[in-house]
């Protein structure tokens, strides 16, 4: 079963830190984009069975519910779904009780809410459209209807002393899932000019450790993700386990049959020829093995040895024995009878695990 990603590349305002592929719209998602998406889905030539759908962006919550239903109908005509997780990313200021009910009626069963902070100064710094009270109202509206939802946060934006209060307010809302990412100052974004504001590594680590401490009752199942039992993101696990996914829409990535492909990143070009790839890389088995181990090291459970053997026909030690021995010695990875998994330090210094595995 594959995961399905649908990219909606439109936002009402553009946040200055964001390097996703998106453009500004003063209205809604153009009908031409909806048509192009449905055409690309219809023509998809890969696997037929899917276990998850993720509407990401951009701002999928700009889609009117009937357009969302139309995309889901196109997906249901093309794929067989078994108990799918269907997630929509949402901006708090789009959320109303009526919209949340409409989402539920279309078959959406998970909402990922881009709260980012419960501090108005932080939200202003990030250039977000909403304020803290709109974020709280949105969480309450979503929680009233959805059993599974994620409260998504950003740390490392000034004032940093607001982080602990944001986490306290997050906990008061009792979300079943929390995702928290450090703010980055990406080249090509307006924030690239503010690079001097970036927090030092030690400050970032301290903020991350506050996060770990506050969310200690959750399963910290991935470096940046926390879930109550049964609420881990099924769709994102597809990426972390390096299994197959199909992406539809501008700039969407797919990984099918060992080929990683990306749709064109220009929406006008996409509208003219939906599904046209800007690149398609045929990955060697060696590259797929490496990516599979690196991705699993983002997960607390780590890499199941048996799953590796089933997938690649050899013991993981045969391919990565030297690197794993070195990582064990450095205390970044631990070995159990069934798994290799990152330690707490392995979460903090995760890129070092990747570097050691690349060799």
* Residue ranges that bind ligand SF4, judged by CB under 6 A: 11, 14-15, 18, 20, 22, 57-59, 91
Distance CA 357, CA 316 (A): 12
- Least Å distance, CB 217 to ligand SF4, is 28
Q: Which residue's Cβ lies closest to ligand SF4?
A: 18
Smallest distance from the beta carbon of 81 to ligand SF4, in angstroms? 26
Cβ of residue 13: shortest distance to ligand SF4, in angstroms? 7
By C-beta, is 18 or 256 nearer to ligand SF4?
18
Which CB, 68 or 327, lies closer to ligand SF4? 68
Give 58 or 274: the residue with its C-beta nearer to ligand SF4. 58
**Dist CA 352 CA 332 (whole Å):** 9
Q: How far is the CB of 184 from ligand SF4 (least distance, A)?
A: 12
The nearest distance, CB 72 to ligand SF4, in angstroms, is 21
CB 28 → ligand SF4: shortest distance, Å? 14
**In the complex with ligand SF4, which residue's Cβ is closer, 52 or 112?**
112
Select from 117, 120, 136, 134 the least CA-distant residue to 174: 136
Query: Of 107, 111, 129, which Cα lies nearest the Cα of 120?
Result: 129
Task: Produce one character per residue of 117-154: b if its CB has 16 or more CB atoms within 10 Å, e if not.
Answer: bbbeebbebbebebbbebbbbbbebbbebbebbbbbbb
Nearer to ligand SF4, 128 or 296 (CB): 128
Indicate the residue among 59 and 250 with the shorter CB distance to ligand SF4. Answer: 59
**Separation CA 283–CA 215 (nearest Å):** 38
Residue position matching structure tokens 């597809």: 238
Question: Cα angle vertex 57, ends 55, 191, to 5°?
Answer: 155
Tokens 């501008």, residue? Answer: 250
């Amino acid at each position: 079963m594959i995961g399905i990603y649908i990219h909606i590349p439109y936002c009402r305002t553009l946040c200055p830190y964001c390097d996703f592929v998106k453009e500004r719209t003063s209205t809604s998602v153009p009908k031409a984009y909806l048509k192009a998406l449905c055409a690309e889905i219809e023509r998809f030539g890969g696997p037929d069975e899917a276990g998850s759908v993720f509407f990401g962006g951009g701002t999928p919550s700009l889609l009117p519910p009937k357009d969302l239903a139309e995309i889901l109908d196109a997906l249901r005509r093309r794929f067989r779904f078994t108990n799918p997780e269907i997630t929509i990313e949402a901006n708090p200021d789009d959320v109303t009780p009526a919209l949340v009910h409409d989402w539920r009626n279309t078959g959406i069963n998970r909402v990922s809410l881009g709260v980012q902070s419960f501090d108005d100064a932080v939200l202003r710094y990030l250039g977000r459209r909403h304020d803290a009270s709109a974020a709280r109202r949105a969480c309450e509206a979503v929680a009233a209807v959805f059993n599974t939802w994620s409260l998504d946060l950003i740390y490392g934006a000034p004032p940093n002393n607001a982080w602990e209060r944001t986490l306290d307010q997050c906990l008061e809302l009792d979300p079943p899932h929390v995702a928290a990412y450090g703010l980055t100052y990406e080249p090509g974004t307006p924030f690239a000019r503010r690079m001097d504001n970036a927090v030092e590594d030690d400050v970032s680590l301290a903020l991350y450790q506050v996060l770990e401490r506050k969310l200690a009752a959750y399963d910290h199942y991935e470096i940046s993700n926390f879930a109550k039992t049964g609420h881990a993101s099924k769709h994102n696990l597809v990426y972390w386990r390096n299994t197959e996914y199909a992406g539809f829409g501008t700039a969407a990535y797919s990984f099918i049959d060992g080929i990683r492909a990306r749709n064109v990143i220009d929406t006008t070009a996409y509208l003219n020829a939906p599904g046209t790839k800007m690149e398609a890389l045929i990955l060697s088995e060696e590259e797929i093995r490496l990516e599979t181990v690196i991705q699993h090291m983002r997960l607390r459970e780590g890499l199941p040895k048996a799953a590796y053997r089933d997938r690649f026909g050899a013991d993981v030690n045969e391919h990565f024995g030297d690197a794993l021995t070195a990582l064990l010695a450095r205390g970044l990875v631990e070995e159990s009878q069934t798994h290799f998994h990152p330690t707490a330090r392995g979460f903090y210094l995760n890129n070092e695990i990747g570097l050691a595995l690349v060799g």
